[in-house]
A and B are shown apart, each in its own frame.
Chain A
Amino acid sequence: MKKVLLAFGLLIAVAANAQSDKYVAVMQKNLALLDSAKTSQDFQSAANAFERIGDAEKTQWLPYYYSGLALSTIGWMDKNLDKDANSTRINALCDKAEAIEKNAEIYALRNMSATQQMLVDPQSRWQTYGQQAAAFLKEGMTMDPNNPRLYYLQAQNIFGTPEAFGGGKKNAKPLFEKSVALFKTFQVKPLYPNWGQKSAEDMLAKCQ
Chain B
Amino acid sequence: MIFGVCFKLTAQTIISGKIKDTKGHPIAGASVSLKNTYDGATSDSIGNYHFSTTEKGDQVIAVTNVGYNSVEQKINIAAEPIKLDLAMKEQLNELKAVTITAGSFAAGDNKRGAVLSSIDVATTAGSNADITAALKTLPGAQQVGEQEGLFVRGGAGYEAKQYIDGTLVNNPYNASVPDLASRGRFSPFLFKGTVFSTGGYSALYGQALSAVVLLESIDLPEKSEIDATISPLVVGVGTQQLAKDKKSSFGVTYNYTNVGLYFDLVKQVPDYFKVPQFHSGDANFRIKTKSGGMIKYYTTFGYSQLGLRRPDVDSLYYKDAFALNNHNWYNNLSWKEYLPNGWKMNLGAGYSTNKDNLMQQVQNSNNQPLQFNDTTAWWMQVKNFGLVNRQDLSQVKAVFEKKLGGISYLRFGGEYQYSYNSTLYNDTLHKFSDNYSALFAESDVYITNDLAAKLGLRFENSSILGKVDLAPRVSLAYKTGKDAQISAAYGIFYQKPENTQLMYTTNLGYTKATHYIINYQKMTRERTLRIEAYYKKYDDLVETIPVSYNYYSYNNNGNGYAKGVELFWRDKKTFKDFDYWISYSYLDTKRQFLNYPQQLMPTFAATHTASIVTKRFFTDIKTGVNLTYSFATGRPYYDFLINNTGKYFIGDQGKTKDFNSLGFSAEYVPSIGKKNAKTFIVLFASVNNVLGYNAVYGYNYPYSGNPMLKQEINPPAKRFYFIGCFLSWGVDRTQDAINNNL
Rounded to whole angstroms, the CA-CA distance of A55 and B33 in the bound complex is 10
- Whether B114 pairs with A165 at a CB distance below 8 angstroms is no
Considering only residues 62-112 of chain A, those with a C-beta below 8 Å from chain B are 82, 84-86, 88-89
A–B Cβ pairs within 8 angstroms, 18 of them: A26-B38, A41-B44, A48-B41, A49-B38, A52-B33, A56-B38, A85-B66, A86-B66, A126-B735, A126-B738, A126-B740, A127-B736, A161-B738, A162-B738, A162-B742, A165-B738, A166-B674, A166-B675
In whole Å, how far is B670's beta carbon from the nearest beta carbon of chain A? 10
Instruction: Determine whether B29 belongs to the interface, using a CB cutoff of 8 Å to chain A.
Output: yes
Considering only residues 163-201 of chain A, those with a C-beta below 8 Å from chain B are 163-167
Which residues of A are found within 8 Å of B525, using beta-carbon distances? 120-121
With A123-B741, A130-B739 given, is the CB distance from A52 to B95 under 8 Å? no
Instruction: Determine whether B506 belongs to the interface, using a CB cutoff of 8 Å to chain A.
Output: no
Rounded to whole angstroms, the CA-CA distance of A41 and B42 in the bound complex is 9
Question: Considering residues B36, B40, B736, B741, which has the most beta carbons from chain A within 10 angstroms of its beta carbon?
Answer: B40
- Whether B735 pairs with A130 at a CB distance below 8 angstroms is yes
- Whether B742 pairs with A124 at a CB distance below 8 angstroms is no
Which residues of B are found within 8 Å of A163, using beta-carbon distances? 673
- Whether B40 pairs with A126 at a CB distance below 8 angstroms is no
Rounded to whole angstroms, the CA-CA distance of A122 and B482 in the bound complex is 22
Q: Across the two chains, which residue of chain B brings its CB closest to A127?
A: B109
Instruction: Determine whether B73 belongs to the interface, using a CB cutoff of 8 Å to chain A.
Output: no
Instruction: Determine whether B620 belongs to the interface, using a CB cutoff of 8 Å to chain A.
Output: yes
Given contacts A48-B40, A123-B117, A165-B672, 17 further A-B contacts (CB under 8 A): A41-B28, A41-B44, A44-B42, A52-B33, A52-B37, A55-B36, A56-B37, A84-B95, A120-B525, A123-B740, A125-B110, A127-B110, A127-B736, A162-B738, A166-B673, A166-B675, A166-B734
The interface of chain B, by Cβ under 8 A from chain A, is 28-29, 31, 33, 35-42, 44-45, 66-67, 95, 109-110, 114, 117, 119, 222, 525, 619-620, 622, 672-675, 734-742
Instruction: Determine whether A146 belongs to the interface, using a CB cutoff of 8 Å to chain B.
Output: no
Instruction: Determine whether A45 belongs to the interface, using a CB cutoff of 8 Å to chain B.
Output: yes
In whole Å, how far is A62's beta carbon from the nearest beta carbon of chain B? 14
Which residues of B are found within 8 Å of A44, using beta-carbon distances? 29, 42
Which residues of A are found within 8 Å of B739, using beta-carbon distances? 122-123, 125-126, 130
- Whether A127 pairs with B619 at a CB distance below 8 angstroms is no
In whole Å, how far is A83's beta carbon from the nearest beta carbon of chain B? 10
Q: Out of A41, A121, A122, A127, name the residue touching B222 (CB < 8 Å).
A: A127
Instruction: Determine whether A31 belongs to the interface, using a CB cutoff of 8 Å to chain B.
Output: no
Q: Out of A48, A88, A121, name the residue touching B42 (CB < 8 Å).
A: A48
Rounded to whole angstroms, the CA-CA distance of A125 and B45 in the bound complex is 32
Instruction: Determine whether A53 belongs to the interface, using a CB cutoff of 8 Å to chain B.
Output: yes
Which residues of B are found within 8 Å of A28, using beta-carbon distances? none
Rounded to whole angstroms, the CA-CA distance of A131 and B735 in the bound complex is 9
- Whether A56 pairs with B66 at a CB distance below 8 angstroms is no
Question: Considering residues B67, B525, B673, B734, which has the most beta carbons from chain A within 10 angstroms of its beta carbon?
Answer: B673
Rounded to whole angstroms, the CA-CA distance of A173 and B40 in the bound complex is 44
Considering only residues 136-179 of chain A, those with a C-beta below 8 Å from chain B are 161-167
